[in-house]
Amino acid sequence: MMEEYNFCPRCGKPLSIKHLFGAERPYCPHCGYIVFRDPKLAVGALIVDEDRVLLVRRGVIPRKTFWAMPSGFVEYDEQPRPALARELREETGLEAEIGRVLEVYPISDPNKKGVFLLFEARVTGGDMQAGDDAMDVRWFPIDAIPWDEVAFPQLREALSMVERAL
């Protein structure tokens, strides 16, 4: 098991490993702190308007310059829908109403184990402008999606779902 921590995040003493709550976990013999590794939670928006889909060009690795749905990680004190509305605002300048969960995927980054929730969303306002870690934002007609430049297999799958539904 690869460890994220060698020292106790609470008291700074070296951690050891102990079988606790059903798994081997880093444990601090000095203060009793147990390090639980929690899955990351990410959210993304599939925004379809008639026959167009909203995509952003990624300005960060992985898959920098590839097109993806607006998405991001949920902060510790956030709930998924407000987190997604925030990410959308940051990346696209748009306000949106976040609807139902369309699909649940594993996060594709092997260094970040977790869950990706894909929501349906609808634009309600704002001025479209790429920002934060998006280099560009654009509406693509479903029949003109740049398939070779789509960032993640999950997105490709979700988009072909839309393509089939039209």
Q: Which residues bind Zn ion (CB under 5 A)?
A: 8, 10-11, 28, 30-31, 33
Q: Find residue 88's DSSP bridge partners.
A: none
- Measure the CA–CA gap between 34 and 149, rounded to whole angstroms: 42
Provide, rounded to whole angstroms, the least separation between the CB of residue 27 and Zn ion: 9
Nearest distance from C-beta of residue 13 to Zn ion, angstroms: 5
**The residue to which tokens 């977790």 are assigned:** 114
Pick the closer one to Zn ion by CB: 30 or 89: 30
If the CB atoms of residues 11 and 161 are measured against Zn ion, the closer one turns out to be 11
Q: Please report how close the Cβ of residue 31 comes to Zn ion at its closest, in angstroms.
A: 3
Upper half-sphere CA count for residue 41 (Cβ side, 13 Å): 12
Smallest distance, Zn ion to C-beta of residue 22, A = 21
126: alpha, beta or left? (left if phi > 0; alpha if psi -120 to 50): left
In Å, how far are 35, 56, 57 from 64, measured between CA atoms?
A: 32, 11, 8
Q: Which two tokens stand for residue 114?
A: 């977790």
> Quick one: 10 or 156, whose CB is closer to Zn ion?
10
User: Measured from the CB atom, is 26 or 72 closer to Zn ion?
Assistant: 26
Name the minimum Å distance from CB 23 to Zn ion. Answer: 19
Say how far apart CA 142 and CA 160 lie, in whole Å.
9
Residue placing its CB nearer to Zn ion in the complex, 28 or 68: 28
Q: Give the length of the chain.
A: 166
CA distance linking residue 35 with residue 13, whole number of Å:
13
